[in-house]
Amino acid sequence: MAVLVGKKAPVFNSKAVINGSEIVEDFSLEKFVGKKYVVFFFYPADFTFVCPTELLAFQEKLSDFEQRDTVLVGASTDSEFSHWKWLQTPKNQGGIQGVSYPLVVDQNLTISKSYDVLVGSEEYDEEGNETFVGEPKAYRGLFLIDKEGIVRHQLVNDLPLGRNVDEVLRMIDALQFNEEYGEVCPANWKKGEKALKATQEGIASYLAEKV
C-alpha cells in the first residue's frame, strides 16, 4: 500500500456526475488547488450495501464540510451511466437520490491504481499474457488533500468496513487548527479543546493537566 501523505495528490481527468444528474467529461481535482480542501474518497461499487450508507452519511454532513471550506468527491470503478442511475434511485430502493457532490468515473481503473486502492491487479503468465486477478473495484480509500494539493491524511478500509464521517470532520479540524495556530493535536482531540506546543515543555504541561 502506497503512503501518499506528504505528497502531491495524483492528478487525473475523468468523467463524473455532478450536482446529482449532470455528466461532465473532464472532471479534475486540480481546479480546487489554492481554493479548497478536498476529501476524495473511493467506494467499491454502485448499487451495493454498505456504500449507500456511506454516501448518504457524507451528504447529510455536507454543510459541515462546506463550513470547513472543504469539498467532497466520491469515486468508484462504475460507469457514468451507473452513477447517474444510482443517483436517480430513491433511498427506499437502495439508491442515493439527493447526493449532490461529484461522483468520479474510474472505469479504466487508472485512478484507483494511482491512489493504490485497487482490490485486484494485473499479472502476467509465463507467456507474457496479461490477466486481471481479483476484483476490479476500489477499497474504501479516503484522502484529505489540503489547499496546496498535498495529501495530509489517508485511510483505507476493507470492503465490509464502513467509515466514520465525524472522524473525517475531526481530521479536517485538526489540520486547519495546526495550520492556523502551529500547535499539534493530541489523541482524541476535538475542535474547541486544548492542543499543545511541539516541545518537551509543551507535552509535559499538557500531560500534567491530564493527571
pLDDT at 1: 64
pLDDT at 153: 98
Active site residue 185: no
CB atoms under 10 Å from CB of 35, counted, come to 10
> Taking Cα atoms as reference points, which of 13, 78, 14 lies closest to residue 43?
78
When pLDDT is averaged across residues 29-44 and rounded to a whole number, the result is: 98
DSSP 49-113: SHHHHHHHHHHHTHHHHHHTTEEEEEEESS-HHHHHHHHHS-GGGT--TT--S-EEE-TTSHHHH
Q: What's 195's DSSP letter? A: -
Instruction: Inform me whether the pLDDT recorded for 70 exceeds 80.
Output: yes
Helix axis angle, 50-60 to 165-181, nearest 10°: 40
SS3 42: strand
| Tens of pLDDT, residues 159-210 | 999 999 999 999 999 999 999 999 999 999 999 999 999 999 989 988 888 7
Q: Which of 29, 38, 51, 111 is catalytic?
A: 51
- Sketch the domain layout of the chain as residue ranges: 14-161, 164-211
Which cell is 188 given? 482524541
pLDDT at 157: 98
Give the HSE-up count for residue 19: Cα atoms under 13 Å, Cβ half-sphere. Answer: 3
CATH of domain 14-161: 3.40.30.10
| Tens of pLDDT, residues 106-147 | 999 999 999 999 998 878 878 888 788 888 999 999 999 999
Q: How far is CA 140 from the centre of its chain?
A: 8
Instruction: Inform me whether the pLDDT recorded for 51 exceeds 90.
Output: yes
pLDDT at 129: 85
pLDDT at 127: 82
The values of phi and psi at residue 150, to 5°, are -100, 135
Instruction: Work out the mean pLDDT of the chain and round it to a whole number.
Output: 95
| Tens of pLDDT, residues 77-109 | 999 999 999 999 999 999 999 999 999 999 999
pLDDT at 206: 87
Contacts within 8 Å (CB) and 24+ apart, 25-33? 27/102, 27/104, 29/73, 29/145, 29/149, 30/149, 32/71, 32/145, 32/147, 33/147, 33/148, 33/149
Cα R_g (the chain), whole angstroms: 19
Residue with the bigger pLDDT between 40 and 203: it is 40
Q: Name the residue with cell 481527468.
A: 13
pLDDT at 80: 98
Residue 67 vs residues 37, 58, 61, 172, 173: alpha-carbon distances, Å: 11, 14, 10, 11, 11
Instruction: Inform me whether the pLDDT recorded for 211 exceeds 70.
Output: no
Instruction: Inform me whether the pLDDT recorded for 26 exceeds 90.
Output: yes
pLDDT at 135: 86
